Structure 1
Amino acid sequence: MCRLLGFISPTPTTAADLIGVDDCRQWQAMGSIYDDGWGTAWIDPGAEEVTRFRTPGEGADDPRLTRALDAQRTEARICHLRMATTGLNDREENTHPFLAEGIALAHNGSVRPVQRLREFVSAAEADQIGGTTDSAIVFALVLRRARHGEPLLDAVTGTVRMLRADFDHPGINLLVLTPEEMIVVHATAGTEVPYLQGPLPPDHHDHYYRMSWRRFADGATIVSSSGLEHRGWSLIEQNTIMRLTVANGAETIVRL
């Protein structure tokens, strides 16, 4: 189980520029709970391609994550704080975002049983992504469809629909990033909520998988999973896939 944050903007910006330093620190502080690694992927302004950094270390006090949220401007970025699913190791190859063929993907949720999910991909497809998690296999399934010529939105939608049909209440919150678009998936109806102890961030007891978004006048849009106060944000409806174009924030909505 994990936390997600992502944005697109027609001009280079940071998460702190969009929602403020205080909210960024609140999101980063969740790295003390989601402490099995963190990662980020962004559009490199010079190369016009998606670049990634990830580490199995805790993100709460990592200055590299602080810089990514506060100082390193880009037209799009996704960030991920990881809480490893039981039995799936906290090592770098299992840390999100995954990156292959110019596409980055970060996942919050679970698709179980993982052993059965692995039967859906070949060894070569799994090896391309690396890691041993359900999230990596979900990404391999998306890539297979994209490789066969489906637009990325269709590839993501088809994969999510297939998993919802074949598995019992899978949890599929996704951020998918390319130089042209960010795709957001909120499909967690009926997904089992993990048991967490102690003082918890907002919404962790009653709206654990909630996804929210905030849109700005210039088309910049930021998306976050639960854990922030989200004042002035809007909820993303359950069973929704949203495509946001980097150039102007144009949106396409698919209902599952």
Structure 2
Amino acid sequence: MCRLLGFISPTPTTAADLIGADECRQWQSMGTLHDDGWGTAWVDTGTEAVARFRTPTEGADDPRLTRALDADVSEGRICHLRMATTGLADLEENTHPFLAEGVAMAHNGSVHPIERLREYVSVSEVGGTTDSAIIFALILRRMRHGERLLDAVTGVVRKLRADFDHPGINLLLLTREEMIVVHATAGTEVPYLQGPLPPDHHDHYYRMSWRRSPENAMIVSSSGLEHRGWSLIEQNTIMRLTVPDGAETIIRL
């Protein structure tokens, strides 16, 4: 169970430019609850390759996360705050985003039982021990067989929804050309959380929203922000966001 934030833009920008520094601090502050690591992947403005940083430490007060949200410009970025599923270790290899072959992925949700999910892949295919790492490995496998990213993601999500009981699959995937958003959590049990919580964490933990800026940048966030002026992403939807086309493709699952 985690928090997601990502954008894609026609010109280099930051999350703070798109939603304001106050909203970025609100998102980062959720790292006190989602405190099992954080990470970010972005389109490097110099090389146009997707780069990544991740650490299994708390992000709420980490100046590196503040800088990633406020100062480090990019044409695309995804950020992730991790709250580890019970029993899954706080290791760097389990920290999101995962990155391979020019594709970065961050996940919010869970697929159970993980023991059965692990039967889908070989150990050599997985760069981590979690359900999220296995989802990423399954997507990469389909891409290696010639599928484009959108088709690979759609195929994996449909298979997991067919084979598992109410899996939680909210995803952000980033390449140098596109951001793919998955919101597929219908029936997923909302985690039981105690204490003062950010907005929507009791009843709408898995909700996702998006907004287009006047400059045609598109930003996506999981719940926990005020989201004034944002649009809800429909349940059981996959969106392919590109610049300048916007929501170029929407797939209903």
Smaller-chain TM-score bracket = over 0.9
Contact 1:106/1:176 (CA < 8 Å) preserved in 2?
yes
User: Which residue identity lines up with residue 70 of structure 1 in the other structure?
Assistant: D
Match of 1:170 in 2: 167
Q: What's 2:2 paired with?
A: 2
Deviation at 1:250, TM superposition (A): 4.7
2:223 is equivalent to residue 226 of structure 1:
yes
The count of aligned residue pairs is: 253
RMSD: 0.8
Pair 1:76 & 2:76 matched: yes
Identity %: 83
- State the AA in 1 paired with 2:172: L
> Structure 1 residue 187 and structure 2 residue 184: aligned?
yes
Superimposed CA distance per residue, residues 132-168 of structure 1 (whole angstroms, 9 cap, x where no aligned partner): 0000000000001111111100000000000000000
Secondary structure class of the residue paired with 2:51? strand
Aligned amino acid, residue 45 of structure 1: T
**1:36 maps to 2:33:** no
The Cα shift of 1:237 comes to: 0.2
Residue in 2 aligned with 1:50? 50
> Relative to 1, partners in 2 of residues 1:148 and 1:241: Cα closer, same or farther, differing over 3 Å?
same
Tell me whether 1:208 sits opposite 2:190 in the alignment. Answer: no
* Cα deviations by residue, 1:78-119 (Å, 9 ceiling, x for unpaired): 000000000000111100000011100000000000110000
Gaps of 5+ in 1: none
Change (3 A) 1:250 1:165: closer
Contact 1:75 1:246 in 2 (8 A): no
How far apart, CA to CA, are the structure 2 residues paired with 1:218 and 1:110?
Answer: 35
| Contact 1:76–1:246 (8 Å) recurs in 2 | no
| SS of match in other structure, 1:96 | coil
Q: Deviations over 1:63-87 (max 9, x none)?
A: 0000000000000000000000000
- What TM-score, normalized by structure 2, do the two folds share? 0.98
1:133 alignment counterpart: 130
| Match in the other structure for 2:102 | 102
Shift of 1:123: 2.1
Aligned match for 1:155, one of 134, 152, 157: 152
Structure 2 unpaired stretches of 5+: none
Deviation at 1:248, TM superposition (A): 4.5
1:11 aligns with 2:17: no
Task: Detail structure 1 runs of 4+ shifted over 6 Å in the superposition.
Answer: none
Please give the alpha-carbon distance, in whole angstroms, between the structure 2 residues aligned to 1:120 and 1:47.
Answer: 35
